[in-house]
Structure 1
Amino acid sequence: MTFKPHPAVAPAMPMAVRGTATLAMIPAARLPRSVPHRDGRKMPTVRLLAMAAVWLTVVGAGTLAPMSDSAAQASAPAAAPRDFAAERKAIGDSRAWTNYRFATAERACYDKFFVTHCIDKAKEIQRGELQVLRQRELEVGEAERAQRAADRDREQALRRAEYEAGQPKRSANEQASRESFEKKQQEQQLRDAQHQADAPKRSANAQSHQQKQADYDARMREAQSKGAEQARQREENVKAYEAKQREAEQRQKDQDERRAKAKEQQGQASAPRPFGF
């Protein structure tokens, strides 16, 4: 995996590492055993590739020496948050690449005379690279925990600032609530005092109401008694009237009978007698 470090923070690539990308494109079976160094010495190809992988991993992941405050301010206006998942993936890819190159070097060692010595050197290079990657992995984990802690601290600081900013309003609301409660308490005390002061008046009013109720009940009983007496009197008057009516009808009937009888007698007296008597 090829990393592209930021030009403002990435150190210069060592001369021994330059050209490693070209070597990585050559099949393992055709790689030269060594490449010439600038001082005339020859460096094993496996070691050169290992140095390049470690350099790219360290620089690409961002494990550089800390800069001064002035350099940090001049480098960028605001640092972007680290992508720890991408860094872990890069470390994993580098570890896989290290293991692949060790397997390739191990196979190449079997073509040499000192096989064991060659494999031991390849293992030493692998252990060095894996150790660097392990340290890098530990640093990423520590940095992630530190960032989470910093995020929690910022969140707590933000909540604390919001709480402190709202404190005057809460204090004003609490003061208003206390004043309202005290005012209601005073009004209740005034009502209680007024209620106690009006107790004799309420007692007199109750007695007067009871007296009025008693008078009303007495008048009601008297009215009911008078009503009953008047109803009885009306019933007697009706009975007397009906009796008089029956007497008048009887007198009229008797009178009609007497008149009819008298008329009958008068008719018999005026009728002619056959014998003259």
Structure 2
Amino acid sequence: MPLVSLRWLGPSVVTAAASCALAAALAAPVPAAAQSATPAQGAAPVAASGQQAAATAGSPQSASDAAALDKSFDERQQVLNQRTDDNNYQFAVAQHNCYSRFFVNHCLNRARDAMRSVQADIRKEQLALDAEQRAQRARERDERTALRRAQNEAEAPQRAAEDARNEQAYQEKQRQHALDQAQRNAEAPQREANAQAYEEKQRQHALEQAQRNAAAPQREANAQAYEEKQRQHALDQAQRGVAPAQSAANQKAYDQKQSDYQRKLEEARRQGAQQAVERQQKQENFERKQTEAAQHKLDVEARQKQAAEKAEQKRQDQLKQQQLEEQQKQQQQQLQQQQ
């Protein structure tokens, strides 16, 4: 029909339109033509595809089967797209031919009805294809879900064992931490005692260093006086003509006296330092006892205050109880008088 109506156009336009229509007719695939013949024929592939989907839903597909099915969907979609393009082209050619006829609107309506009829068939097949694709995606999703569920069930014992190991390791760490904490708590008094001993040694060392620094000028003066006495003694021995042996014996006796004197002096200094440390300790103990006594006094006063408050509260409670009992007695007497 479109080729005959093109006779009103020029020869070149008729030739071009005829060649395009012939090419479109030859390019139309055989399955598409068979499907567009009747609605019953188009429904047969849909039922077959539904049975195929039901058959494949019961058994898991391999990757190659899924790829082949996707390729089949793509090919069918390309066929539908090609049919849609051909239908649109045929409608355009029919529209063009209708404008050269006498009954233009009638011709346009017939062309539009034919286009819509083919479009409806294509729409049915497109819906069927979309349904199959959705069913295929649902099957693939169910298969993936089943695979993940099976994998999770297979890995459940391993996860349970891993969780048990983690829980055991955590409990072991908790026990070890508790043991370490208990050990640290048990060693706390010893660490405190060691720290106090270290501080005491540091104070003792500072005190001895201060005493040595204070006694340094005196030691220097003593050394100079001793040397001066030695020179004077040597000079006196030479003047008196004392023999060297006697002089050595005298010198030895003098050195012994000096050594005894220095030893006694160091002992006195040491005792003085020890006494100073003891006085410092006594002062600290006294201050600590004073602090403890003040705290004890505050604690006793607080307890006495609490006891007084409790006694006052008890007295108030007893007073309220007595008032309540008196009110109850008065109410009972009033009731008896009314009766």
The TM-score bracket by the shorter chain reads: 0.3 to 0.5
TM-score by length of 1: 0.48
Higher-helix-fraction structure: 2
Q: Which has the larger radius of gyration?
A: 1
